Chain A
């Protein structure tokens, strides 16, 4: 009785009110989290260990052990290759996107004529580069022709990356690095179109650094270059972590593995195999995410 009264009392207090309202505010999300997330997640885990037959009475789920996983990894001709390719793609692209977006954010933070126009152009990919548009763009023939024309027309265009490659090789730069950089130049559109949100986050972060720090460093004789490495970079390093995670997650949706998983599920109606693939994919992404977060988070500087 006493306990009930105590609870009643505490609910009438301000803190108790807060708890009540908190539960109320969270409840829609919690409801959805259970029905549209947790239950499906567990069901999908269950599916991945079973064979599923659709019949007139609904689904018949029978336990099948690891057979789906074995099929996904050892039997299916596409999954293995696409998974490795897209994971490699993520590992290669992420540093490029991070460096590029930080660089652009620093540029866009400086004062120059037409800055607001430049900013709005650079954030345009946030709007354009997602979903169907990207998929359809890849197969546009008209674009292809025009590119051909452009290549035939301008010598500079055709030589660009190739010439750069030769110069760097002559200069004795490592083979891998050269290929990485020239690859980046050729894929500049992909990289630009994937870094919209990251630029935004970095720019916002740079603007929260107090100008006094820069002033003080200037007094002490630091150049702009030094200020970048000693001030800007450490101050935005927590955001590097945020952007790293965002970039990796964002590349889920662009990967061909997603399509393969969907088509196995919905076209071939092999739900078990599709779920198994999805789980393998999820776990491998988590591994990349965890290891890269671990590596970066040791270097991150938090200003207290």
Chain B
């Protein structure tokens, strides 16, 4: 009786782990499929596209697609620019959001609840709603009438990195409300006793923040930096509006189909093979996300762990 029950339990466990394995393997495949597809497309020769026997592994192995896509996208320069842009906005955003988050969590003053409601509002309002006025504002940037007083005219900040720098210094860049929220939640979870101990030992508010709270906030910082970097890297909404001629990854990608046609037949569209166009485009996408994937492979462990410890949940 006992042994039978035991084996039944064992069987149940086996079945469950089998089902679980199938589910997870299947869904992992669904997630990885587009990437594998792109890798296989990138190393295929044109002629393999029509070959019925080629599905995944190409018959004629080639780097032509990658070379073409790289030269069209101006790859190395673009990569450098994107790294600079994303890195810069990420650092500035993380810094300004950490300050604001700490203030909202611990340095309360009259009206800070109302201001925190403002943070929530920035999360809720879709960026499309305010895009046009912001665009106008940046095209004739006056800092509330200050710049015309000094130089006599407004400054056009579009097509430079200034919009990104300004919005990220002031914690209003892409999804910054969310980052402030993350920091606030995190700092709320840190025991008050730590702060009090620092105060008793003679640390002022500033020293407490920079020397005690900030080093402790490592998981929150990692989370925000990663999210912000990745989202800035992929963002096409702001980059295509603010930057028109500069070479960053997302603008290059969105103009890739057009540039590709120009490259392949000198401006006469429709004469080239649409499948080949699509092939090079897929390669371009792969090239654009490849740095992110490589980065992810290195940081994914701390990424997952830090989110678990951030208290986004709290």
A interface list, Cβ under 8 A from B = 14, 17-23, 25-26, 28-33, 35-41, 43-44, 47, 58-59, 104, 107, 110, 112, 116, 118-128, 130-133, 135-137, 139-143, 145-146, 149, 188-189, 192-193, 200-201, 203-205, 207-208, 239, 242, 249, 252-253, 258, 261-262, 265-266, 271, 274-275, 278-279, 281-282, 285-286, 289
The reply on B123 being an interface residue by CB < 8 A is yes
- Interface 1/0 per residue, B23-34 and A, CB below 8 Å: 110011011111
By a CB distance below 8 angstroms, the chain B residues around A133 are: 234, 253, 285, 288-289
By a CB distance below 8 angstroms, the chain A residues around B231 are: 130-131
Q: How far is the CB of B114 from chain A (nearest CB, A)?
A: 11
Q: Which residue of chain A lies nearest to B120 when distances are taken between CB atoms in the complex?
A: A245
Can you spell out 15 A-B residue pairs with CB atoms less than 8 angstroms apart? Answer: A19-B107, A21-B107, A41-B125, A44-B130, A107-B24, A128-B293, A132-B253, A132-B254, A141-B274, A142-B278, A145-B49, A145-B275, A239-B313, A271-B132, A275-B132
- Interface 1/0 per residue, B242-253 and A, CB below 8 Å: 000000001001
Q: A29-B100, A124-B296 are in contact. Are A130 and B234 (CB under 8 A)?
A: yes
Q: How far is the CB of B199 from chain A (nearest CB, A)?
A: 6
Q: A130-B231, A142-B275, A204-B312 are in contact. Are A25 and B103 (CB under 8 A)?
A: yes
The reply on B310 being an interface residue by CB < 8 A is yes
Q: Is the CB of B303 within 8 A of A23?
A: no
Q: Which residue of chain A lies nearest to B180 when distances are taken between CB atoms in the complex?
A: A29
- Interface 1/0 per residue, B151-192 and A, CB below 8 Å: 000000000000000110111100000001000000000000
Q: Which residue of chain A lies nearest to B140 when distances are taken between CB atoms in the complex?
A: A58
Residue from the set A127, A143, A207 with the largest chain B CB neighbour count within 10 Å: A127
Q: Is the CB of A200 within 8 A of B133?
A: no
The reply on B205 being an interface residue by CB < 8 A is yes
Cα separation A281 to B131 with both chains bound (whole Å): 14
Q: Is the interface of A mostly helix, strand, loop or mixed?
A: helix
By a CB distance below 8 angstroms, the chain B residues around A265 are: 131-132
B interface list, Cβ under 8 A from A = 17, 20-21, 23-24, 27-28, 30-35, 37, 41, 49, 55, 96-97, 99-100, 102-104, 106-109, 112, 115, 118-119, 121-134, 136-137, 140, 143-144, 166-167, 169-172, 180, 199, 204-206, 209, 227, 230-231, 234-237, 241, 250, 253-254, 256-257, 274-275, 277-279, 281-282, 285, 288-289, 292-293, 296-297, 300-301, 303-304, 307-308, 310, 312-313
Q: Is the CB of A40 within 8 A of B301?
A: no
Cα separation A104 to B254 with both chains bound (whole Å): 33
Q: Is the CB of B37 within 8 A of A143?
A: yes
By a CB distance below 8 angstroms, the chain A residues around B134 are: 36, 40
Q: Residue A22 contacts which of B109, B128, B132 (CB distance < 8 angstroms)?
A: B109
Q: Is the CB of A188 within 8 A of B204?
A: no
By a CB distance below 8 angstroms, the chain A residues around B296 are: 120, 124, 127
Q: Is the CB of B278 within 8 A of A203?
A: no
Q: How far is the CB of A235 from chain B (nearest CB, A)?
A: 10
Q: Is the CB of B100 within 8 A of A278?
A: no
By a CB distance below 8 angstroms, the chain B residues around A23 are: 103, 109
Q: How far is the CB of B281 from chain A (nearest CB, A)?
A: 7
Residue from the set B97, B205, B274 with the largest chain A CB neighbour count within 10 Å: B205
Q: Is the CB of A25 within 8 A of B99?
A: yes
Q: Is the CB of B308 within 8 A of A26?
A: no
Q: A123-B300, A132-B236 are in contact. Are A146 and B275 (CB under 8 A)?
A: no
Cα separation A60 to B247 with both chains bound (whole Å): 34
Q: Is the CB of B275 within 8 A of A131?
A: no
Q: A146-B55, A188-B30 are in contact. Are A32 and B167 (CB under 8 A)?
A: yes
By a CB distance below 8 angstroms, the chain A residues around B256 are: 136
Q: Is the CB of A41 within 8 A of B129?
A: yes
Residue from the set A19, A22, A120 with the largest chain B CB neighbour count within 10 Å: A22
Q: How far is the CB of B309 from chain A (nearest CB, A)?
A: 8
Q: Is the CB of B30 within 8 A of A28?
A: no
